[in-house]
Amino acid sequence: MKKHTRKFREELKKRSLLAISGAFALVIALAWNDAIKHTVNSFVMKLGIPETAYMYKIIIALVITAVCIIGIFITSRYSIEYEK
């Protein structure tokens, strides 16, 4: 019984730390979201694209998607190296 209790506690600790890390990651992502939006906003304004244009939202979505894909690629490489 002690073995199961210890295993449960270890698993609970791992899952709790994962949840806390996920919460911090969400806060970081929201901060980056604002930073990226402001950067794209200034870039789009310099190009003279009106804010009400639907292309404006598409450009922001594409830039954020590209940044996120790069971030996922980089973190997955570190994850693979860590597992080895």
Residues 63-78: tens digit of each pLDDT: 888 888 888 888 777 7
Q: How many structural domains does the chain have? A: 1
Residue 5 neighbours by CB distance under 10 Å? 9
3-class state of residue 64 by DSSP? helix
Containing domain of residue 76, as a range? Answer: 2-83
pTM check: above 0.85: no
pLDDT of residue 3: 80
CA angle in degrees (0–180, nearest 5) for 36-40-41: 115
CA angle in degrees (0–180, nearest 5) for 68-82-80: 55
28-81 confidence digits (pLDDT tens):
888 888 887 888 778 777 877 776 667 777 877 888 888 888 888 887 777 666
